[in-house]
A and B are shown apart, each in its own frame.
Chain A
Amino acid sequence: MRISEQKLFNNKAEGIGILLFLVLAVLPLVLGIIYALLYSLGVIGLVSDGFTFAYWQRALSDAEFWLSIGYTFYIALATIGLTIILSLFLSLYFRKELRHGLPGFAIYVPLAFPAIVVAFLFFQLLSQSGLFARIAFQLRLIADSSVFPELVNDPFGIGIIGAHTFMATPFFTLYFMNLYRQANLKEFRQVAESLGASAFEQLRRIVVPVLLKRAFPTLTLYTIFVMGSYEIPLILGRQTPQMMSVLVIRKLRRFSLSTIPEAYITAIVFIAIIIALLTVLFKSKNFSYDLDR
């Protein structure tokens, strides 16, 4: 292997550096895809009977599989949409307050939360016997816990979206505040104002478009991240539909061993979606400035 690689690299240090990268970042992905593919085709596996497309046929004709893909996109897009609205609002209206003092500290606090703790927290707060339901009960807003609206393990993924939004909003609020400064939006607004643009127009025509355009790559990456999240939908989700990551693990660990190939098919499809999204993202102009000097 070294002989063939040496032509690629100028010196040993470069060789080691790049080889390290190939081994840790590229090789595992390739190996993972190959393994999942072979398993899904029945080539390997303790209970497989040899090469077959049967698992693919079965997986692709399963309504749950398609529902899961749709649900994954729905959760990710709803989260990111809500996050954009909230964090634009916070970063634009509370820009001054959030820069220092207690608010400036508090906005960072959710960044110190791992997903599993956020999921646990939301469950504790929002379930029908959770803290909010108790407050509603004490205030005599509800007579019985079952009257409290379903906010976790609910059909619309409210709990999941809420938990993700709680994690993402502070991050993007801070991010937009940084971009606002970097893009000299203050000066642009002053110019616009002197030309007679109202405050609302300044926001609508200049500030928001510039922020969103600049933040587009990061927003897309975050969307992908939400799509692959596991702990939050595991704890706050329903038995059906399930997000793809939860579905993969469930099918992998099901009592009937025959669904394992389907788990790998779901994994392959997920990876393919991610690769497709990233490829599109890399083509966008907003992204390339970061890559090419």
Chain B
Amino acid sequence: MISTGRARTFWVKVLIITLLFPVAYLLMLSLATQWIFPSVLPASLTLDRWSTLLGASNLFGSLLLSLGIALSVATISTFAGFFSSKHLAYHPQRSLWIRLSYFPFVLSPVIYAAVLYFYFIKLDLAGSFVGVILGQLLIAYPYSVILFSGFWSERIQQIEKLTQTLGGSRWQIYRRVLLPMAQGLLLVCFFQTFLISWFEYGLTTIIGVGKVQTLTLKVFQYINEANFYNAALASSLLVLPPIILLFFNRKYLFRQRW
């Protein structure tokens, strides 16, 4: 059924619609006024919800908050991960370190947060912006270490040694040699860790004590009060930035990220 050209084109179209439909549906729902069973289409559309967003609404605050947290998490975990992974990769215990870094990264964030909540309270970090950043770093940083571990090859080590012999300081080596060489990977890591943070819900709600209200928390709150139109609006805000990013570069989006 797929071998003939026309059927094939048809199935490709079906695939495209399946993949793009969710975005269209979310946007439509965020614009709908009344859309209840059994209507297949909303009664009418309104821009009201989107326009209140531009004012000083709660949702706009959440958008900025999510952005602030995600940018911090991405910046810190990318650079800290880059720096750490170098030393871990050249360490005799290399394979032990890399193995260890998988544990926090694949562990359920919500369970991780549950067992760590006590310490966050102790450190006075529960319910705070900084606490949520640190909590998300506990997932994003190991990810970054894993991502960079492949970068530190013997070739890189030799180049580094060569620069050292030529009199380059440690800072110069990073700035002039290592960072430029890793530029592509650094960008990938930045975007991936940004998305880890941008998409995070379970850990954020526990460590943030529900007070640090990122966009994902807003989506959940709206679902809870059965306010599906606003949930769709908040969802659109979550989904659109990565899709825009997709236009620029696909490889940033395609990495193991869970």
Q: Are A263 and B25 in contact (CB under 8 A)?
A: no
The answer, among A13, A120, A225, A228, for a CB contact under 8 Å with B219, is A120
Report chain B residues within 8 Å CB of A114.
198-199, 201, 216, 238-239
Q: What size tier do the contact residues of chain B reach?
A: 35 or more
Evaluate whether A36 and B26 lie within 8 angstroms (CB atoms) in the complex, with A93-B2, A114-B201, A291-B99 already known. no
**B55 interface hit (Cβ, 8 Å):** no
In Å, the complex CA distance between A121 and B110 comes to 21
Q: Mark B34-57, 1 if CB is under 8 A from A, else 0.
A: 001111100000000000000000
Q: What size tier do the contact residues of chain A reach?
A: 35 or more
Q: Are A134 and B106 in contact (CB under 8 A)?
A: no
For residue B140, which residue of chain A has the nearest CB? A24
For residue B234, which residue of chain A has the nearest CB? A117
Interface centre among B2, B19, B103 (most CB of A within 10 A): B19
**A156 interface hit (Cβ, 8 Å):** no
Q: Are B22 and A20 in contact (CB under 8 A)?
A: no
* Chain B contacts with A in 125-168, Cβ cutoff 8 A: 137-138, 141-142, 145, 150, 153-154
Interface centre among A21, A110, A228, A274 (most CB of B within 10 A): A21
Q: Are A111 and B242 in contact (CB under 8 A)?
A: yes
The answer, among B104, B201, B219, B246, for a CB contact under 8 Å with A28, is B104
Report chain B residues within 8 Å CB of A230.
108-110, 201-202
Q: Are A32 and B26 in contact (CB under 8 A)?
A: no
Report chain B residues within 8 Å CB of A145.
37-38
Shortest C-beta distance, B33 to chain A (Å), equals 16
In Å, the complex CA distance between A88 and B84 comes to 36
Evaluate whether A106 and B15 lie within 8 angstroms (CB atoms) in the complex, with A93-B2, A245-B202, A264-B115 already known. yes
Evaluate whether A221 and B84 lie within 8 angstroms (CB atoms) in the complex, with A33-B115, A124-B29 already known. no
* Chain B contacts with A in 201-219, Cβ cutoff 8 A: 201-202, 206, 216, 219
Q: Mark B226-241, 1 if CB is under 8 A from A, else 0.
A: 0010011001001100
Report chain A residues within 8 Å CB of B110.
228, 230, 245, 248-249
Q: Mark B85-103, 1 if CB is under 8 A from A, else 0.
A: 0111011001101111111
Evaluate whether A221 and B40 lie within 8 angstroms (CB atoms) in the complex, with A18-B91, A103-B12 already known. no
**A47 interface hit (Cβ, 8 Å):** no
Report chain A residues within 8 Å CB of B232.
120, 124
Q: Are A231 and B12 in contact (CB under 8 A)?
A: no
The answer, among B36, B95, B111, B199, for a CB contact under 8 Å with A245, is B111
Report chain B residues within 8 Å CB of A94.
11-12, 15
**B253 interface hit (Cβ, 8 Å):** yes
In Å, the complex CA distance between A275 and B111 comes to 14
**A218 interface hit (Cβ, 8 Å):** yes
Report chain A residues within 8 Å CB of B258.
221-222, 225
Q: Are B254 and A111 in contact (CB under 8 A)?
A: yes
Evaluate whether A31 and B106 lie within 8 angstroms (CB atoms) in the complex, with A24-B137, A225-B258 already known. no
Q: Are B109 and A293 in contact (CB under 8 A)?
A: no
For residue B254, which residue of chain A has the nearest CB? A174
Evaluate whether A278 and B119 lie within 8 angstroms (CB atoms) in the complex, with A25-B142, A108-B246, A230-B202 already known. no
* Chain B contacts with A in 64-121, Cβ cutoff 8 A: 80, 83-84, 86-88, 90-91, 94-95, 97-104, 106-112, 114-116, 118-119
Provide 23 A-B residue pairs closer than 8 Å at the C-beta atoms, listed in order of the A residue. Answer: A17-B84, A17-B87, A17-B88, A24-B80, A29-B103, A31-B119, A32-B115, A107-B19, A111-B246, A111-B254, A120-B223, A124-B25, A125-B25, A129-B38, A137-B38, A228-B108, A245-B108, A248-B110, A249-B206, A252-B114, A274-B103, A278-B99, A290-B150
Residues of B within 8 A of A (CB): 2, 11-12, 15-16, 19-20, 22-23, 25-26, 29, 36-40, 80, 83-84, 86-88, 90-91, 94-95, 97-104, 106-112, 114-116, 118-119, 137-138, 141-142, 145, 150, 153-154, 170, 198-199, 201-202, 206, 216, 219-220, 223, 228, 231-232, 235, 238-239, 242-243, 245-246, 250, 253-254, 256, 258
Give me the 10 closest cross-chain CB pairs, A-B, nearest first.
A228-B108, A17-B87, A114-B199, A32-B115, A112-B242, A225-B258, A106-B19, A129-B37, A291-B95, A230-B202
Given A33-B115, A35-B119: 12 more A-B contacts, CB < 8 Å:
A14-B91, A93-B2, A102-B16, A116-B219, A131-B25, A228-B108, A230-B109, A231-B202, A249-B114, A267-B111, A291-B95, A293-B154
